[in-house]
Chains A and B, each alone.
Chain A
Amino acid sequence: MSVASRLGVRLEPRVDVPRWMNWAVPIGSFLSALLVGSVVLLITSQNPISVYQRILERGFLDSGSLSNTLISATPLLFTGLCAAVAFRVGFFNIGGEGQFYVGAVFASGIALALGADAQSWIAIGAMILAGALGGALWAFIPGILRARFRTNEIITSLMLNYVAGIGATYLIFESDSFWRELSGTGAVFPKGKIIPLTAQWPSFDLGTLVVPFGLLLGVLVAVWLHVLQRRTRFGYEMRVVGGAPSTARYAGMRPARVVVAVAMLSGALAGLGGATDVGNFRHVLDPKGLQQSGFGYAGIVVAALARLNPLAVVFVAIILGGITNAGYALQGPDFPAGLVGTLEGLILFCTLGGEVLARYRIVLSRRRPEAMSA
């Protein structure tokens, strides 16, 4: 029974999380990410202030840059909603990536099948439905597997990302599929067929700002999701199933069905993102480009930063879109591309750290107060 005095650091769970922390914690996390980021920048002999200034300008302020940011934000918005809605009921859908690909495959397929003669609104409507359907079907697989056999959806949905990626690659690079361009240069260099002009989604000019139709669709969907979760019977079931599954069963709900339905809803959102990618931006099924972007995984970050709130997802997607976009603009001999990725990683890291601080508090204590000698 020794008597020594040591300083101890412990985490104690907070009895209650005060309201102001809901917004103070994410903002604080973001600011500390910038702070840590500036240390990294200093080490790489960059001037943090001028770098942040450039990010602000290139991401949001310069003429035309906000328009580019909105383009970068659109897919993140959909995959962010995909993760937010699924995580809310405890279905950890890591498969937004694959569901995004499948949505793109379905949407480009229907656009090509309808051809140039279809009316524009029919083609666009069909792409939206097809994209959502494709994503929903892809997410149905991990959903039903979990509901029926209690498989871990984190693993199944993640594995299906690779299946979807390989499948899309096969369509363009390893087969003479309907999606592949076989005439012209396409005969030599594999690429997808461009969808007809009538199926290409519009963008709206607001002065210097160009707003893609896909972003508006995403915002509408986010508002719809908010109402769904807060005001409807299904949203009520979602919240009960997510927080207390055995209570849901006790109340006569069908937790398995709710989970499968939410899995499909979540997949549909990612699939919509895939449709947007084809309709609004690439106009073609581009498996390599899709897989390099990693929108699905970035969506998980967006959802986490937004604390699974659909409306917050909109803002987070735009902020992260801006940083990504600024990254493209900043890359050059004096500015390695990796730095933007590092900054994004720091934001996620600080957010998760902030979550811990919101739920626990740090207690400093002498480990041995008023020690009695034995």
Chain B
Amino acid sequence: MTNSVDPKAVTAAAVAAFGISKRFPGVIANDDVNFEVRVGEVHALLGENGAGKTTLSNILTGLYRPDAGHLEIAGSPVVLDSPREAIEAGIGMVHQHFRLIPTFTVAENIALGAPRVGEGPALRMGVIEERIRELGQRFELDVDPRARIWQLSVGEQQRVEILKVLYRDATTLIMDEPTAVLTPIEAEALTSTIRSLTDQGRSVIFISHKLGEVLSVADRITVLRQGRSVATLDADGATREQLASIMVGREVERVERRGTGALPGAPVVLAVEDLSADGDRGTPALRSVSFEVRGGEIVAVAGVAGNGQRELVEVLAGLRPRTSGVIDVDGELMARADARHPIRMGVAYVPQDRLGTGLAPDLSIAENLVLKRYRRPPVARPPFLRSSVIDAEAETLMAQFDVRAPSSHTPTRRLSGGNVQKVLLAREMSGRPKVLVVSTPTQGLDIGAVATVHRLLLDAAAEGVGVLLVSEDLDEVLALADRILVMYEGTITGAVEAEQASIESIGVLMGGGAAEDVA
């Protein structure tokens, strides 16, 4: 495969899949998937989690072999037995989680594993760097080849990943959820890079579950549902609603409220003042944060992951010590770090890691539902637990929150993501909290479950609970929040009323100083 576009191949698809199927024990990950990527187009693979996107990209990059079906590249059938063969065939993968060595330079990372330049054992870094600069100029991928990876921002590291595959002469680039780690401004820069790639005859397979970005970036969209390719359509003329219903297979309700807000005169249920805390590495991660949440209000914390949101919610849940500051829950001061105290004060917490932190996966639904109340009557009659009470409560809560499971004795690890989240919310709300802290509550859920979770959060607010919603999903934040706090590098860089908020205005705040970098 060479850089120049073979005139014969222009008519043929850059990459095409015919009847690709792949089974894993108990699941059919891909079932008769067909699509073709034309030369010079951005082709989106759109689907919910579990729709088979990742399996398909692993097949395209030679990690998995399909059980049935075959691939064609530039019109001729190929068998990709390893990632190396995929690279030789011109397919390059830009991973969502970067595979870079932090202490190496950009050029060293790119040269790693690539064919050697020139004769003899010497690494000709000069030649390599020159080539990287050239590629960078050509495709609007500005990055210094001599910089070390750890010095680069997330957006720059992604550019290195893209350069890495371009350096290996990839003609088709697969990008797996490439905007997940980017600020809105960095995402825009990525879009223009993608445009310059396709303008110069490269093709891009853009994997995503976000309707908005797929519509704005892609030329054509293939929708995957339950492992099958259910439709391919032009992005021009397609609508979000149309895509959503193809993705889910039915009409999807969209939960939305903007700024109904706290009732007048509702008390402040959570007041945080001057709160600071260290991150896992012992360096300050949360710097002097102050805010208030009133009863019945949904306050969203937006920001790119890793800007202190995790530390904030863990301090509120008593799981992380704070270095300074005061937390006031409905007039009562929270003592030092201790998970029991916030529970008793009425702070409910739905953590991001639902099965690893929020639930005991091997225990039953019923047992998980009493996780925060097992110590006292009526659940406990020390030293015993009353299984009759536990079972009865489980039946009630499962009916109330519509948890779908064979029985209340089913281990929670066997539930779907949406039902796991319902069990968690059911437990947290059953404690009659004053404050509900939820961290990325819909990450990884399918669209139907997202709507359910959103409705449960609105219900909680309607009951007078103060909701603190931490989310990276700006659509979610805009749909639910009354007020939006934006976090950047451990501080709150802005607070916006929902009526005045837009993706653009929040995006600038989320990027902190990144605005100048990009320009």
Chain A residues with CB under 8 Å of chain B are 1, 3, 12-16, 231-234, 236, 239-240, 243-244, 246-252, 361, 363, 368-374
Contact = CB atoms under 8 A, between A and B. Distances in A.
Contacts of B78: 1, 372, 374
A250 B351 CA distance: 9
16 contacts: A15-B26, A15-B27, A232-B384, A233-B374, A236-B385, A239-B362, A240-B363, A243-B360, A244-B356, A247-B357, A249-B339, A250-B339, A251-B339, A369-B67, A370-B68, A371-B79
B387 A231 contact: yes
Contacts of B124: none
Interface string B58-88: 0000000101101000001111010001000
Contacts of B343: 251-252
Given A15-B26, A233-B374, A240-B363, A246 B356 contact: yes
Nearest to B363: A239
B68 A252 contact: no
Interface stretch (B192-200, B375-383, B498-506): B375-383
A240 B375 CA distance: 13
B361 interface: yes
A249 B358 CA distance: 10
A250 B382 contact: no
A373 B77 contact: yes
Interface in B22-40: 24-27
A13 B356 contact: no
A133 B375 CA distance: 28
Q: Is the interface of B mostly helix, strand, loop or mixed?
A: loop
Given A246-B356, A369-B67, 8 more contacts: A3-B79, A14-B25, A236-B367, A236-B374, A246-B357, A247-B360, A250-B317, A370-B68
Given A233-B385, A244-B356, A249 B363 contact: no
B371 A251 contact: yes
Given A16-B414, A231-B384, A232-B384, A372 B77 contact: yes
Interface of B: 24-27, 65, 67-68, 70, 76-79, 81, 85, 317-319, 338-340, 343, 349, 351, 353, 356-363, 367, 371-372, 374-375, 380, 382-385, 387, 414
Given A236-B374, A247-B359, A250-B339, A372 B79 contact: yes
A230 to B, nearest CB: 9
Contact of B385 (A231, A243, A246, A248): A231
B360 A232 contact: no
Nearest to A367: B65
A244 B68 contact: no
Contacts of A250: 317, 319, 339, 349, 351, 357-358
A253 to B, nearest CB: 8
A353 B507 CA distance: 55
A246 B317 CA distance: 13
A160 to B, nearest CB: 30
Contacts of A361: 25
A233 B360 contact: no
A12 B23 CA distance: 12
Nearest to A234: B383
Contacts of B338: 252
Contact of B79 (A1, A13, A251): A1
Contacts of A372: 70, 77-79
Given A251-B339, A251-B371, A369 B68 contact: yes
Given A13-B25, A250-B357, A1 B85 contact: yes
A13 B413 CA distance: 15
A374 B353 CA distance: 44
A247 B356 contact: yes
Nearest to A370: B68
Given A251-B339, A372-B77, A233 B356 contact: no
B339 to A, nearest CB: 4
Contacts of A13: 25
A369 B85 CA distance: 18
Contacts of A233: 374-375, 380, 382-385
Contacts of B360: 239-240, 243-244, 247-248
A228 to B, nearest CB: 9
Contacts of A370: 68, 70
Nearest to A12: B25
Contacts of B374: 233, 236
Contacts of B26: 15-16
Contacts of A249: 319, 339
Given A15-B25, A232-B385, A252-B372, A243 B361 contact: yes
A252 B349 CA distance: 12
Given A233-B384, A244-B359, A250-B358, A374 B77 contact: yes
Given A1-B85, A233-B384, A236-B367, A252 B79 contact: no
A250 B371 CA distance: 9
Contacts of B68: 369-370
Interface centre among B25, B338, B351 (most CB of A within 10 A): B25
Nearest to B427: A251
Contacts of A252: 318, 338-340, 343, 372, 375
Contacts of B383: 232-234
Nearest to B342: A252
Contacts of B387: 231
B467 to A, nearest CB: 19
Nearest to B373: A251
Contacts of B371: 240, 247, 251
Interface centre among B78, B360, B361, B363 (most CB of A within 10 A): B360
Nearest to B383: A232
B89 to A, nearest CB: 9
B73 to A, nearest CB: 10
A75 B95 CA distance: 56
Nearest to A244: B360
Nearest to A240: B360
Contacts of B414: 16
A239 B359 CA distance: 12
A12 to B, nearest CB: 5
A231 B388 CA distance: 11
A251 B360 CA distance: 10
Closest 9 CB pairs of A and B: A15-B26, A252-B340, A252-B339, A244-B360, A243-B362, A12-B25, A251-B371, A372-B70, A240-B360
A229 to B, nearest CB: 11
Contacts of A15: 25-27
Contacts of B77: 372-374
Contacts of A16: 26, 414
A361 B85 CA distance: 30
Nearest to A371: B79
